[in-house]
Amino acid sequence: MIGKAIRLERIMNRNTGRTVIIPMDHGFSLGQIYGLHDMPQVISAVSEGGANAIVLHKGMVRHGHRKAGSDIGLIVHLSASTSLNPDPNDKVLVCSVEEAIALGADCVSIHINLGSANESKMIEEAGDISRQCTRWGMPLLVMIYPRGKGVNPTDPVAIGLCVRVAEELGADIIKTSYTGDPMSFAAITRACAVPVLVAGGEKGGDLESLAMIREAVGAGAAGVAMGRNAFQRDDPARFIRAITRVVHHDATPEDALGSGA
């Protein structure tokens, strides 16, 4: 598994064992959204902010990755759906592990929605991707959430199931929702042997968002994967710099925003 170990070093900070990942795959589902009109510019801002990695779909890698700014880890997202689909929880594969390798990826990611009508298909596809990742020494980030009719998206039992399913599938990193409660989330992270990241959620205030991240990290989260809540800021580099201070230096939200951010 030396290939996975080498690539994971580009995603996870070796000193803290944590990571700040900025997903920028939203254009596939939402179209030409604010914050992602100029991909080279936003990728440069994200790298300037000190994020460990970004998430892109395969077609966007050529338009911005590593063309400007500091070096940054690349995660190629393999799953997709659009907002025009009557069931936006239905994700399909649009890229392979081999394609991601050819693009220079350090990691690949897939999306699973437990409780959705197409849960079984997504789990089956994830199992196949996991086998390919083992074969090629490619780290696997599983983004997994409880989503579907009658499903509570912040239920600790449901989120705990999501994390366990991802670990059983062979995930090297897991992204899921925060329960909103440090005690329940700590129980979930303690029961998992691989890093668990919290999703950034919808855009909130600076202090509010940083406080959530700090609380989750205190409950055992290995960092955050935050998309719109980060790249749609007026100054993404400044806010991401504050996130990295919270995640990697245990700074308070106030200190993170005030120390030259």
| Cα–Cα distance, 34 to 126 (Å, whole number) | 30
Given 25, 106, 172, 206, the catalytic residue: 25
Let me know if 175 is a catalytic residue.
Answer: yes
Burial of 59-78, coded b for 16+ CB within 10 Å and e otherwise, reads ebbeebbbeebeebbbbbbb
Residue with tokens 């596939």: 28
- Residue 219 sits at φ, ψ, to 5 deg, of -95, 10
* Angle subtended at Cα 165 by Cα 9 and Cα 109, rounded to the nearest 5 degrees: 40
> Other CB atoms closer than 10 Å to residue 194's CB: what's the count?
16
Given 91, 106, 172, 175, the catalytic residue: 175
- Residue 187 sits at φ, ψ, to 5 deg, of -65, -35
Given 145, 172, 178, 206, the catalytic residue: 145
Let me know if 25 is a catalytic residue.
Answer: yes
| Cα–Cα distance, 202 to 183 (Å, whole number) | 22
| Cα–Cα distance, 172 to 167 (Å, whole number) | 8
Active site residues: 25, 145, 175
